[in-house]
Amino acid sequence: MTFNSSSRLLITGGTGSFGKAFIAQVLNEYPQIQRIVIYSRDELKQWELQQVYPQEKYPQLRFFLGDIRDEARLSLALEGIDIVVHAAALKQVPAAEYNPMEFIKTNVLGADNLVKACLSSNVKRLVALSTDKAAAPINLYGASKLCSDKLFIAANNIKGDRDLRFSVVRYGNVMGSRGSVIPFFLKCANNGVLPITDKAMTRFNISLQDGVNMVLWSLKNAKGGEILVPKIPSYRITDVAEAIGPNCSKPVTGIRPGEKIHEEMITLADSCSTYDLGQYYSIIPANFTGSEFYQGTKHQAIPVDGGFSYNSGSNSDFLSIDQIRQLITLHVDKNFTPV
């Protein structure tokens, strides 16, 4: 599905880092879009975004205050909507370990509310954002997002004859997003100390722009029922520290509760259901083969090798220190200088 003059989009968590970037790109590429509903619970962030997009200049934007925990409010917000991007979530790993039920209410029950609200409306496409932490989760945040992924994928089984597709995109750390390591290190560098949890730690890395592009691609190309995973590079936490503060001290503090040394986006157990689409991998429902699932589409789905897994530590593509510096300047701080 592509955007046109009759398209009506709702984005949950629309005032977050992803939401703001996604809205900007949609308005730039599809200025004729009929409506964009920004659904979030933070009135201050909505007010701040309204200053960027004043009503007189952007009449297609609507700011809808609400929580995905509230199914009735969601149903009201979805009236007339045909495309949904689900970006709302609680995300901080330590907070999830301390407040597990709050994460379950938002990430799991909120996802279930959204599924039911979509089934009760005229929504045609939904793409939900996931995380690498949802693959073989060891923390509550990852487990809650795995449950969310399962809810959206299973929703395709109960849509009946509706023209409705639920899909999931799963990717790694977004460079420069709130609460991520690079903004944290940039702040810490002012004090000359960059705390490293574990010298062996690696993470997948994706730019905010690439994340937006992936969701736009998925809205147009996803069949419904798959988890899409991008082919992206990894970085070593020690290389990020060296890129930002080569002259800073780098004490090892130990990993936090619920953290992994390496992140995984496709597990060994998922390899038998994983197909290479070229730019992305696709994890399809286990009761299909790739040729069956993608029959009648333009996708050339190639099964991955037996024993395949996609892990940030064994990834074949790693960012160098110089590449990390270039990406920080491009995506995080154009005035960045190593200290």
The phi, psi pair for 103, rounded to 5°, reads -70, -40
SS3 of 155, please?
A: helix
What pLDDT, on the 0 to 100 scale, is given for residue 4?
A: 86
Chain-wide mean pLDDT for the chain?
A: 94
Is 69 in contact with 111 (CB distance < 8 Å)?
A: no
pTM of the model: 0.94
- Phi/psi for 209 (5° steps) reads -65, -45
Averaged pLDDT, 138-163: 96
Question: Beta-carbon neighbour count of residue 176 at 10 Å?
Answer: 19
CA distances from 195 to 181, 238, 337 (A): 10, 10, 19
Which of 259, 243, 201, 231 minimizes the C-alpha distance to 316?
Answer: 231
The token pair that represents 244 in the structure block: 């930002």
Count of Cβ atoms closer than 10 Å to residue 107 Cβ: 26
pLDDT at residue 198 is higher than 90: yes
Q: In this predicted structure, which of 59-73, 127-141, 174-188 has the lowest mean pLDDT? A: 174-188
CATH architecture of 8-170: 3-Layer(aba) Sandwich (3.40)
Q: What does the alpha-carbon distance between residue 266 and residue 62 come to, in Å, rounded to a whole number?
A: 37
Q: How confident is the model at residue 167 (pLDDT cuts 50, 70, 90)?
A: very high
How large is the C-alpha radius of gyration of the chain? 20
pLDDT at 287: 82
Contacts of 181 (CB under 8 A, 6+ apart): 173, 203, 237, 240
What confidence score (pLDDT) does residue 101 get?
98
CA separation for the pair 249, 189 (Å, rounded):
9
For residue 2, is pLDDT > 80? no
- State pLDDT tens for residues 78-102: 999 999 999 999 999 889 999 999 9
Kindly provide the residue ranges of all beta strands, DSSP E only, lying in 44-131, ordered along the sequence. Answer: 61-65, 83-86, 125-129
Q: Checking phi first, is residue 147 left (phi over 0); if not, alpha (psi -120 to 50) or beta? A: alpha
Residues 11-52: tens digit of each pLDDT: 999 999 999 999 999 999 999 999 999 999 999 999 999 999
- Residue 102, H or E segment: helix 100-103
* pLDDT tens string 217-254: 999 999 999 999 999 999 999 999 999 999 999 999 99
124 touches 83 (CB < 8 A) = yes
pLDDT for the residue 138 = 93
Nearest one of 267, 246, 263 to 255, comparing CA atoms: 263
Q: Are 97 and 148 in contact (CB under 8 A)?
A: no
Query: What are the distances in angstroms from CA 183 to CA 13, 47, 111?
Result: 21, 24, 29
Q: How far apart are CA 118 and CA 121, in angstroms?
A: 5
pLDDT at position 325? 96
Active site amino acids: 133
